[in-house]
Amino acid sequence: MLIAALNGNRSPNEHPEVPVTPQQLAAAAREAVEAGADALHVHPRNAAGVESLEDADVAGALAAVREACPGVPVGVSSGWWILPDAGARLAAVRAWTARPDFVSVNWHEEGAAELAAALLDRGIGVEAGLWTADAVRAFLTWSRRDEVLRVLLELPDQPIRNYKAELQEMFGLLEASDLDRQVVLHGLGESAWPLLREAARRGLGARIGLEDTLLLPGDFDTAGDNGELVRVAREMLR
């Protein structure tokens, strides 16, 4: 599986092809799917271009992307920086009139288990975002862990030597458990391409897009758009 992460918290000032409006998200989504993406991860924005979990903003983004890419699963982020108050974040999710196919929930953030439970209760898939070995341990103790859609092993924008031992510990914890869920491996910035290669080596799912990196592998030229990143990643996974 290859997930295209189209925008994240980036702005067009960082790269002119970072999509912000629903129409831009739709165009970027179409390009990513044509390039080989199996699912789409987006960060909806409000009229001012600020990340949002408000019902109208989420619904607008989902409608545009789904019209452009019918049948392709579309997910959104629930990162704490979008709405730092855990109670407000939970209330926002419960107020959604349009439901994404999945939502990524970072397990190290306050209220993660409660938010994931609320999403599951609404029939929305959950991606458990696990950034550390401690997060893996906490997730594995959760009573509803077997209901999640998949597990995201996510690592920060750091050289491989800084996270190699942590990643091995995370894999070890999952392998020692009886959890039977798809694993998607992805990094950010400096870790994006090394982890995509590792996903290919292990036969795992992966994620790529302008949220995760602005650069192509190897020569480190700037990518043209999300579609180019997905095409390169798809070839690597093959």
Task: Let me know: does 186 contact 196? Beta carbons within 8 Å.
Answer: yes
Query: What pLDDT is recorded for position 128?
Result: 98
Q: Could you give the maximum distance between any two Cα atoms of the chain, in Å?
A: 46
- How far apart, in whole angstroms, are the C-alpha atoms of residue 34 and residue 76? 20
Query: What pLDDT is recorded for position 218?
Result: 83
Mean pLDDT of 50-57: 98
Query: What pLDDT is recorded for position 213?
Result: 97
User: How many other C-beta atoms lie within 10 A of the C-beta of residue 64?
Assistant: 22
Number of domains in the chain: 1
Please give the structure tokens belonging to residue 169: 């510990």
- How far apart, in whole angstroms, are the C-alpha atoms of residue 114 and residue 132? 19
Task: Let me know: does 57 contact 82? Beta carbons within 8 Å.
Answer: no
Model confidence pLDDT, tens digit, residues 5-29: 999 999 999 999 999 999 999 999 9
Question: Does the pLDDT of residue 219 top 80, yes or no?
Answer: no
DSSP 117: H
Q: Is the dihedral of CA 198, 201, 206, 209 positive or negative?
A: positive
Q: What are phi and psi of 196, to 5 degrees?
A: -65, -40
Model confidence pLDDT, tens digit, residues 180-191: 999 999 999 999
The domain containing residue 143 runs over which residues?
2-237
Say what the pTM is. 0.97
CATH of the domain at 21: 3.20.20.70
Task: Let me know: does 134 contact 158? Beta carbons within 8 Å.
Answer: no
Model confidence pLDDT, tens digit, residues 127-145: 999 999 999 999 999 999 9
Model confidence pLDDT, tens digit, residues 86-97: 999 999 999 999
Mean pLDDT of 172-179: 96
- How far apart, in whole angstroms, are the C-alpha atoms of residue 128 and residue 103? 9
Mean per-residue pLDDT of the chain = 97
